[in-house]
Amino acid sequence: MPDPGREGTTAAGRQDAATTRVEDPPLLSGHGRFVADLRVPDCADAAFVRSPVAHGLLRSVDLTAARRVDGVLGAWSAADLDDVPLVPPMMRPEPGHGRAWPALATDRVRYAGEAVAVVVADDRYLAEDGRDAARVSIDALPAVLDPADSAGDEVRLHPGASNVAMETTVGEPVDPRVWDRAAVVVRARYRHPPLCHTSMEARAILVRPEPAGALTVWCSHQAPHRLRNDIAEVFGLPPGDVRVVVPDVGGAFGGKSETWPEYLAVVLAARRLGRPVRWVEDRHEALTAGPRGRAQTQDVRLAADATGRFLAMELRTDAAVGGYPHTGWFLPEVTARMAAGAYATPHVHVRARALLTTTPPLCPYRGAGRPEAAYAVECTVDLLARWLGMDPAELRRRNFVPPDRFPYDTPTGFRYDSGDYAAALDLALETAGHGHWRAEQARRREHGGPPLGIGICAYVERSGAGGEFGAVEAHADGTFTATSGCCSTGQGHATSFARVVARELGVDRHRVRVVEGDTALVPRGVGSFASRSMQNGGEALLQSARSLAGEARERAAALAGVPAGDVTLDGGTLRAGGRTFTFADLARREPLRAEAQVEPPQAFPFGAYVAVVEVDPELGSVRVLRLVAVDDYGTVIDPLIVRGQTYGSIAQGLGQALCEESVHDEDGVPRSVSLLDYLLPTVAEMPEVAQAETCSPDPNTALGAKGAGEAGCIGVPPAVVNAVADALQIDPPALAMPLTPETCWEAAR
Amino acid sequence: MKPAAFAYTAASTLEDALRELAAAPEESHVLAGGQSLVLEMNHRAVRPTRLVDINTVPHLGLLQTDDAPDDGARLRVGPLVRHRAFEQPVDEGPLGRLLALAAHCLAHPPIRARGTMLGSLAYAHPTAEWPTLAVTLGAELDLRSVLGHRTLAAEEFLAGPFTTALAPGEMLTEARFPVLPSATGVAFLEHRPTAAGFAVLSVAVALRVADGTVVDARIGLAGAAPRPVRAPAAEGLLTGRPPTDEAITEAAAASAETVADPPADPPAGIPFRQHAVRVLTQRALHRARDDLTERT
C-alpha cells in the first residue's frame, strides 16, 4: 500500500530536492561507451544492400563484384543461404502467419530500404564499397501507401495473406438511436504522419562468436532478455549460450525493443565468418529503412446532449504497419483501448486495424498508440466545444471521470486506477495564466494583432505491463547491488533505482550499484519500454529491499537473541537488544540477498497540457508562446529525472505537431532521408515550458509510481493543434500535422 | 555514410592547388570548409578521387575593401573566408549590415566557423544565403585554372540548383561585392520551418534613395526559381518613386511573378511560394526603408 501520508492528490508529488544523475559525468565528458565505441579485437563491420524500390519481385542479387572488393570478408543474400532467418513477431504469432519476414529479402521486397544482402568487411568504408558493388535486379510492383487502398487487398504484399494483419473491435457497438437522438454529433478525420525515432544513437549491434557456438551480443537495446531469447530460438541455440550486453544507449523511444532483421543478418555473418561483426546504423539508414511510429488514419464520431455531456464516441483507426506487421500490429489496439480518454462517456466503440503498406515497419514510438488516442479524443472534444459554443475547459470538466469513480472500468476494457483529472486541468490553466491569455485573445480579436490561441489536452495514458525481476544484495564492504530486469536507454536507472533501494534501507544512495542490461548478470527481465521501469522494475527493487531488510532483522534478532519484532532499522543500522549491526556486518557472516518478481497491473498516469500560440497571419508560421505540462505520475522518485524526461518528450511532441514527418513519394521511396529534410525541433523552436505535477499514487503498488516519460508526446500535439485552431478560429480537424506554415496558411484561407 | 576512397593533397600555393586540380580535373574537388562537400561524400552523392585541400595555402583568407579605379569600392573575399567572418559587419555601411543579416541566418555556429562563402557559392544550393546576396548585389566572381582566369557575374556563374559555370579544373578564387552607398537601406529575410535546414524562401533587399526617391532598387529572391534571381518588375515599380507604402505593396505583388520552376526542396507548393514571396518582399522592403530611416 502507498505511504498513507502520500495518498490523495496534491500539487507536490516530489519527494526530494533535485540532484544530479550519476550517469552524467562520464556521458558528458565523452567517456560513455556505446556499441560503436567498443574495442573488440578483429571486429569487422557490416553494411546492407537495400532495396531502392518500395515493392517488387526480387529477381537477382549479384554479389560477385562486392566479394572482390579489397577488404570485403563476405557477402550474403538470401540466395546464398539454405535457411534464411525469420524475424519473430512480437507478442503473438498470428500476425506473422503467411507474412514471413526474412532477415534478407528472399523473393520480394516490401519497403524501400529493406535489406537484400549484407556485406562484411574490415571496416565500414570497405563494407560500403562492397555494398556499392552489389547488383540487384527487382521488377517493381505497385506501391501501397494509403491504408484505405491496402484494406481492399487489390495489391497483396504477401500472396495468400490479407493486407489486414489485425482487426479488432473494443467496446459495444453504439445503438444507432444514440446518434439519432443526440443534440449534437461531430465527426472528424485525422491523419498521424509516420515519424522516425531519431534517437541520437541509431540502432547498433556487435556479435562475437564464442567457443562451442555460443555468442556474445552487444546491442543498443531496450529488452535484452527478449533479444537473447529470439536470437537463441532463431539460431537453434540454448538461451544460456547467448549473452546479450547493453552498453550505454543513446536513446531508444521504442525503436530498440525489437529483434530487427539486420540484427539476425549480423548474427548470421558473425557465425559464418567466425569473427566479431558490428553494424552501426547511420542516420541515412535510420531515416530510410529504420522503423516508423504513429501512421494512423482515424475517423471519429462524438455525440453529446445539449449541455455538453458526452453520450457516445466511435473511433475507426487504421495503422499503416509497413511491409511486415511483426513489430507494430498491436499499436492500433492500444489506441482502441485508450479511446475513452479522460471521460466517463457511457458508450465507446472502436474498430482498429493494422494494414500492410509498402513502407518501413511500424513499431512503438514514444507514446506508442496513446498519442494517437489522445489526439483523436482531445481534438474532437475541442471540435464539439466549438459546435456547442462552450469553453473547452468547461466541457472537459463536465465529462471527466470523477475522482469518486475510481477504479473506473472504461467501455474499452481498461481499469483506470486513480486520479483527479479536473485538479490537473485546473492547475495547468492556472500555471498557464489562462485568464490573462483569454483576455489578450479577446483584445487582439477586437483591436487587431496576430491571431492568438489557447489549446488544451487532458490526457490519460497507460503505463507498465507484465512482470519484472529485481534483486538486492548487501556486500561485506558496505555497498549494495541492485539488479533489475529493466534496461536503461538513457532514463537514469543507475540514479533512480539506487535511490529506491537506498531509501528503503536507509543507506547512502551512492553505495548502491545498479546492475542491469546483461543477461549473464541478470537472470531474467522484461526491459524498459511502456514507461514501465519505475512502476514495475522500481517496485521489484523496493520489494527486494524490503525482503532484504526483513532477512537482516531476522539475522540480527537471532544474533542478539531477541524477537525479530524488536529489531529496529534506522539509517542503515539495525539495533537488536543493545547490539548494532550494519548490513555489511551481516553480509560478512553469510551472503545477504533478496529478490522479487512482481507483476503489478498497468497504471493510468494522466495530466493536462496547455499551449498558447501565435500564428503569423500572413505566412502561417506557428510560434508557441507558452507550454504548460501538468503530469500525474503517482509517486515521483527522482524529480530531476522525471522532469527531464517530460521535457524531452515535450520536444518530441512539439516536433510531431509542427515539423516532423517521414515523407514518401508516390512510389513509396522515402524523401526525408537526412536531418535537413526530416525536421526536428531545435532549441530555437522550444518555447518556455512550465512543468508542474499532481500526485495520485498508484494504489496497486507499494512504491506508488506510475509510468513517466512519454507524456509530452501525448499531451503536446493535441494542445498545440487545438491552440492553432483556436487562434485561426477553425475546427481542429481542418489542420493536419505537421502544422507547417503552408498547412496553416491553407487552412486559414 | 562513409566516403569512397580518395587521394588527399594539401596544396602549398594557389598555383600548386590549380596544378593538382589539373592533374585529374574531372575527378578532383577543392576542400575548403567541407561543410557541404564532406556530407555529400559521406552520402556518396559525389565521389571525387582527389581532394585538394586549400586550407594549407597562405593568403587565401583575403577580406578587404579596395577602391576600383572606375566605379567605386569593392569588397574582396578570398576562398578561405569563413561564414563567421561576416557575423560582425565587415564594412561600416549597408553592405556590412546586409552580409551580417544573412550570416546570422546561415546554418548554425559550428558550420559558420568552418564553412566558407566561396564554398557556398560553388555548392550553389538554390536557397543558400550567399548566392542570393551575390545575385542581388551583382557580385563578380573570379575563376582560375592552370589555363588562365575569367570573371563572371554571379548571375552567369549560378546556373541552377547545385550547378555552376565552374569547369573541371577551375576553382573559385575571389568574390567581389560592390560596396553599397551609405544612403542604401538593406534587409534580408528568410522563411523556414525550423532553424535547422535550408530556407524555403529568402529575400534580400538593397534600396538606394536620393532626395526621397529610389534611385536603385535591388530585390533578390531565393526559392522562387531554380537559382536566386532578381525581381526586375518589382524593382522597376520602385525605381524613380518615393518608397511609399503603396509603392512597396505594388512591388511586392509584382515580385510574386518571379516564381517559376522553383526548387523541389525544401518543399512548398507554388501558390504558397507566390504568396510568401509577396509577403516576404513586402516585409523586407519595409525593413529596408526603416533601415534607411534609422541611419539617416
Cell of A641: 529525472
Considering only CB atoms, A681 lies closest to which of B194, B267, B268, namely: B194
Q: Dump pLDDT digits (tens) for B64-81.
A: 999 876 678 999 999 999
Cβ of A129 within 8 Å of Cβ of B4? The answer is yes
| Average pLDDT value for residue range A648-663 | 97
Considering only CB atoms, A676 lies closest to which of B197, B275, B276, namely: B197
Distances (CA, A) of A395 to A381, A384, B168, B259: 8, 9, 68, 46
Considering only CB atoms, A742 lies closest to which of B43, B272, B279, namely: B272
The answer, yes or no, to whether residue A175 has pLDDT greater than 80, is yes
CA distance A614 to A627: 12
Cβ of A679 within 8 Å of Cβ of B193? The answer is yes
Considering only CB atoms, A679 lies closest to which of B43, B191, B194, namely: B194
A124 interface with B at CB cutoff 8 Å: yes
Cβ of A283 within 8 Å of Cβ of B1? The answer is yes
Cis peptide before A407 (omega within 30 of 0): yes
Cell of A560: 542478539
pLDDT band at A423 (very low <50, low <70, confident <90, very high): very high
DSSP state letter for A404: G
Classify strands A606-615 and A452-460 as parallel, antiparallel or unpaired: antiparallel
Distances (CA, A) of B90 to A40, B35, B83, B284: 51, 22, 12, 21
Cβ of B44 within 8 Å of Cβ of A124? The answer is no
Q: Dump pLDDT digits (tens) for A562-599.
A: 999 999 999 999 999 999 999 999 999 999 999 999 99
Cβ of B195 within 8 Å of Cβ of A619? The answer is no
Structure confidence at residue B195 (pLDDT): 87
CB contacts of B49 in chain A (<8 Å) are none
B194 interface with A at CB cutoff 8 Å: yes
pTM: 0.96
Cis peptide before A102 (omega within 30 of 0): no
CA nearest A550: which of A567, A537, A571, A570? A567
| Average pLDDT value for residue range A237-255 | 97
Considering only CB atoms, A619 lies closest to which of B5, B198, B279, namely: B279
The answer, yes or no, to whether residue A620 has pLDDT greater than 90, is yes
CA distance B158 to B141: 10
Q: Dump pLDDT digits (tens) for A677-735.
A: 999 999 989 999 999 999 999 999 999 999 999 999 999 999 999 999 999 999 999 99
CA distance A104 to A114: 8
Q: pLDDT averaged over chain A?
A: 95
Considering only CB atoms, B196 lies closest to which of A284, A675, A740, namely: A675
The answer, yes or no, to whether residue A2 has pLDDT greater than 60, is no
CB contacts of B3 in chain A (<8 Å) are 125
Cell of A189: 478525420
Most B CBs within 10 A among A124, A281, A673, A679, hence the mutation to make, goes to: A679
Strand stretches in A323-427, DSSP E: 347-356, 408-409, 415-416
DSSP state letter for A524: -
Q: Which residue is listed with cell 498508484?
A: A698
B89 interface with A at CB cutoff 8 Å: no
Cell of B30: 577543392
CB contact set of A436 (below 8 Å; sequence gap of 6+): none
User: How many angstroms away from the CA of B195 is the closest CA of chain A?
Assistant: 6
Structure confidence at residue B70 (pLDDT): 66
The answer, yes or no, to whether residue B8 has pLDDT greater than 90, is yes
B193 interface with A at CB cutoff 8 Å: yes
Say how many residues make up chain A.
749
CB contacts of A618 in chain B (<8 Å) are 275, 279
For chain B, domains (ranges, CATH) are 7-53 (3.30.43.10), 63-178 (3.30.465.10), 184-295 (3.30.390.50)
Is the ipTM higher than 0.85? The answer is yes
B45 interface with A at CB cutoff 8 Å: no
Q: Dump pLDDT digits (tens) for A317-351.
A: 999 999 999 999 999 999 999 999 999 999 999 99
Cβ of B197 within 8 Å of Cβ of A679? The answer is yes
Residues 259-298 of A with CB under 8 A from B: 282-284
Classify strands A573-576 and A44-50 as parallel, antiparallel or unpaired: unpaired
CA nearest B93: which of B74, B106, B112? B74
DSSP state letter for A81: -
Cβ of B194 within 8 Å of Cβ of A284? The answer is no
Residues above pLDDT 90, as percent of chain A: 96
Considering only CB atoms, B191 lies closest to which of A124, A619, A682, namely: A619
Q: Dump pLDDT digits (tens) for B203-238.
A: 999 999 999 999 999 999 999 999 999 999 999 999
For chain A, domains (ranges, CATH) are 35-141+202-249+256-288 (3.90.1170.50), 292-463+602-748 (3.30.365.10), 465-598 (3.30.365.10)
CB contact set of A537 (below 8 Å; sequence gap of 6+): A468, A470, A484, A485, A486, A493, A497, A528
Looking at chain B, which residue has its C-alpha nearest residue A125? Answer: B2
CB contacts of B195 in chain A (<8 Å) are 682-685
CA distance A339 to A700: 23
